[in-house]
Amino acid sequence: MVQLLHRCSGSKDDFICGEHEFQKLMLKVIDLEPTNIIPFTLMDIEQSSTEGNLRSISRVLIDELKIPKDDFMQGIFLVGEDQLLAERVHSIQKQREGDVPGEDFSGILPVLGAFHTNMNFKKMMIKIFLGDKSGRVLVSLQNLNKKLHRKYVDEKAGNYWACVDFTKDTGDAVLLGLIVQKGGTKTWDEFRGKSKMGEIRWRQVVAAVSNKLRYKHVSNLRDEKEDSRDRVYENLLLFVRMELEFRCFYKAIREADVEIMELVLQLWALQFLGGEGTKYGPELVELRYRMLCEWDEQLRAIIRRNWVINPRGQTGKNLGLDEFMEELGRAYKHQYNPRGSEMLEGFQRNVIACCTIHLMRLKDELHSALGIRKHSGDHIK
């Protein structure tokens, strides 16, 4: 937990970690390798249905990638997007159970949608800690949000990035309060001053705060007598812990640290179940079961390598496959959409769809050369 706190809570300058006491925890990082992306024409297939997903996956593998039928019948193929795609693939497999091997879709293996998993964990946090939309509950996030005059945050986390920014700032504030408290000081300025003078041992402070953020600590607090409990304090500790896990998973995606991702997912499986995350809870429990009992080491390694991709070939710029698909879809719909008559539909599907990835790369190169910050969309950043 000490490592997790240091890894996810900001830069060293933020926390006066003058000595190089804590090394960033990295378990298993995938080697940097630019992802080979093959664009296709846009398919005119309804993908909101189970049958549409079956047709589109079959078309990509057999018609576009020209995979021989024997290989398709005997092989294992990873497909990825969000949890909904995984759910539909499972539906196809149940419908075709007992059919000819290969035609029963048993060789299609959905890959973790890392971005959507992270996003839905944040939405679950908002649902748990936001409170009434009126903000009348003084200890709720909604009350704090209104006092700070931040962007409106609703229970469904409709403005996702507003939720991310708000919980980050709130989490940092609580962390600083815990650090100041454990440092035996009353204000952050006093803590900074004593830290620079060597009167505060940073390692001991971080260890003490880390210990408070263990789930076992909150469990012990709940075992105390009812009249001595502080529920607000208990909830604050749980909130910060979940916020750190969210940041940890996000950074692990960017750094392609797949073992850290897997470690966090083990924690989230039960949290999703307990927080009524009815879709992601069972999905992560099944993932854990297969990692432990069903897949061999070779297949586990292949699956982990495909949790993230690196479309730009740059260190620290890894993305979940589903996040890249969101980015690609937004670029296609909004940035490179000719918005013309029906006569342009064929051009858009057959030409622009195949060129979108190249146009995105060209735009990135121009932004980099001109020093322009990348635009942030509504769903990705």
From the number of C-beta atoms within 10 Å of its C-beta (0-12, 13-18, 19+), residue 147 rates as exposed
**How much of the chain, in percent, has pLDDT values that exceed 70?**
86
Domain layout of the chain by residue ranges: 2-28+115-252, 50-111+296-370
Task: Give every CB contact of residue 221 below 8 A, 6+ residues apart in sequence.
Answer: 229, 230, 233, 234
| Amino acid 247: pLDDT | 92
| Amino acid 339: pLDDT | 64
pLDDT tens per residue, range 218-270: 889 989 888 888 888 888 899 999 999 999 999 999 998 988 899 999 999 98
Q: 210-214, 215-219, 248-252, 343-347: which has the minimum mean pLDDT?
A: 343-347
Asked whether residue 193 carries a pLDDT value surpassing 50, the answer given is: yes
**How much of the chain, in percent, has pLDDT values that exceed 90?**
9
pLDDT band for position 10 (cuts 50, 70, 90): very low
Q: 64-78, 98-112, 167-181, 205-219: which has the minimum mean pLDDT?
A: 98-112
DSSP string, 71-112: HHHH--EEEES-HHHHHHHHHHHHHTTTSSTTTTSTTEEEEP
For 284-313, what is the mean pLDDT? 88
Asked whether residue 7 carries a pLDDT value surpassing 50, the answer given is: no
| Amino acid 152: pLDDT | 78
Asked whether residue 148 carries a pLDDT value surpassing 50, the answer given is: yes
| Amino acid 365: pLDDT | 77
